[in-house]
Structure 1
Amino acid sequence: MIQVRNLTKYYGDLAAIQDVSFTVEKGEVLGFLGPNAAGKTTTMRILTGFLPPSSGTARVAGYDVLTDSLEVRRRIGYLPETVPLYPEMTVWSYLNFVARLRGVEKREKRVAEVMEICHVDDHANVLIGKLSKGYRQRVGLAQALVHDPEVLILDEPTLGLDPKQIIEVRELIRSLGGERTIILSTHILPEVSQTCQRVLIINEGRIVAEDTPERLTARLKGAERIYLEVANPSPQVEAELARIEGVTAVESKGDGSYEVECALGVDRRPEIAATAVRHGWGLLEMRPMGMSLEEIFLKLTTE
């Protein structure tokens, strides 16, 4: 559905993005993750046809964003970081206005549908300027959906919302997944892990990782970590675990639980279990631990 190849954009001598390449399949929800000023918004603006690349190509549904920008825009619903709303208009009149600009047939029916999808139908006659930020964000999402696009591009959709509003908008995005191809651009880590099937991480204008959250975790571990819980903890537990060959660190988490870090390459769990039995610790649980998405993000954007 979306193919990006060697995309580069310069502002004067400054490269905002360099040789960015990725694909997004039909019906996939891709998390486009990176710190502020990493190149996320520049990439989104190129994909939506609002900004020409310096070099490289990007295609949406087979159409080139540079030479077929009108066709691309017909197929994309875009929610920018700053939602283009008119505070003096009601929700219904604004969405009807957008639908008319988009050339939507049976406008009133489609506006009613997107208001229901985005849960703003009970605010149809309320002035946008009177809405909470959470509801304004819903209206912004409704305008991105009003022409029934194949692709949704959402740039920081929960920025500035309170926790309750964030949960509501995330649930709405999840409900749209599968029906449409979605790119979710964000620097908020839980956003990606809770809504996206695949993660693309950008830093300083370059793609530094691309995979599912689970595969990124497995691939980027610098060491194996094991969670251990015993019934009879004592100060000797850490010392005995540290003596096991290949164990590089042991950290007590309290209440008889420990995190054991081991060098890559050999499964140390059999020896850890044998040590626990030998010393009568009463082994309750032992399982491998993966890196969190937060740890992966920090590792890739600070190296």
Structure 2
Amino acid sequence: MSIEVENITKLYGAQKALDNISFSVKKGEIVGFLGPNGAGKSTLMKILTTYIGASEGTAKVRGFNVNIHKKDVQHAIGYLPEHNPLYLEMYVKEYLAFNAGIYKTPASRIQEVIDMTGLSPEAHKKIAQLSKGYRQRVGLANALLHDPSVLILDEPTTGLDPNQLVDIRHLIKNIGKDKTVFLSTHIMQEVEAICDRVIIINKGQIVADKKLKDLRDDKEQIVVVEFDYRVEDAFLLKLPNAKTVKNTHGFSYDISFSTSEDMRSHVFDFAHDNQLKILQLNQKNASLESLFRELTS
């Protein structure tokens, strides 16, 4: 196993941030650690990376106990914390060279991670000059410098614009082909776009652990569509297999369907036949959203 968590509890005074949680992650899996803010996600990340200790229980990374073999764990892990700490006054290559020296990593690895993370166009700049998306790339490049087998990413897409989101998602997905990725987020779309499996935590306890494939096999889905003007709910309910319609904001609607067939093409044809313009069209996993709301509300 790449990650093993067994009966971990973390106390802050009388408050239980983590309450006797257990799970394991196999080599090569991309696992989404999903939960509302304050659920305990970052606390577990800090325990796995040896930053803080657990009050009870044991955790291992690649067989190394996080309390006993801290150096071995740190070499096995690449970590991108929620608030990506960077030296803004340093140049990208300078910053990576500085960290490569700490890891005793060959200098040739610097250009490899720059290419891997798509940093080449900005590599000559100071980090302070970079956009949030490119700063996240610098953080990922730094996490990959010592070629770790396990990547732990805490809220890696927070604050990114839609284009940056797509780029970072694609990058993480590619990295996951060769490494185990444990990804913390409170955004369900991130899990659906990147992960093979989801673990949901609420109030310090694991409340679900499921393969995304099993959730996708459920015959339910939500199509998110934005039109150029308001449409009556009853009109949209004429779509085949439509169950409910919710006007989320403006001219945007969540339409739930009771079928496993991808209904986006039907929504597109429906709009065309009724002279509607579509400004946005996406699909969400209704099962994951329903499960999350049911378990964390």
Deviation at 1:295, TM superposition (A): 1.6
Deviation at 1:253, TM superposition (A): 4.0
Match of 1:100 in 2: 101
SS in 2 for 1:178: coil
Which of 286, 291, 295 pairs up with 1:296? Answer: 291
CA deviation profile, 1:229-267 (whole Å, cap 9, x unmatched): xxxxxxxxxxxxxxxxxxxxxx98433534469xxxxxx
Cα distance in 1 for residues equivalent to 2:220 and 2:29: 31
Structure 1 residues 194 and 256, CA gap change in structure 2 (3 angstroms): closer
Cα distance in 2 for residues equivalent to 1:21 and 1:165: 33
SS in 2 for 1:16: strand
Match of 1:264 in 2: none
Relative to the length of structure 2, the TM-score reads 0.78
Kindly report structure 1 stretches of 4+ aligned residues shifted beyond 6 Å. 224-227
Cα distance in 1 for residues equivalent to 2:241 and 2:95: 56
Alignment of 1:37-52 (within 5 A): 37-52=38-53
Cα distance in 2 for residues equivalent to 1:291 and 1:19: 29
SS in 2 for 1:93: helix
Q: Rg larger in 1 or in 2?
A: 1
SS in 2 for 1:257: coil
Cα distance in 1 for residues equivalent to 2:235 and 2:188: 27
Match of 1:172 in 2: 171
Cα distance in 1 for residues equivalent to 2:12 and 2:221: 47
Match of 2:79 in 1: 78
What amino acid sits opposite 2:296 in the alignment? Answer: T
- Contact kept in structure 2, 1:29 and 1:177, CA below 8 Å: yes
Cα distance in 2 for residues equivalent to 1:260 and 1:182: 36
Deviation at 1:148, TM superposition (A): 0.3
Match of 1:242 in 2: none
1:203 equivalent in alignment to 2:202 = yes
Aligned residues: 247
Structure 1 residues 256 and 215, CA gap change in structure 2 (3 angstroms): closer
Match of 2:20 in 1: 19
- Contact kept in structure 1, 2:215 and 2:287, CA below 8 Å: no
Match of 1:254 in 2: 237
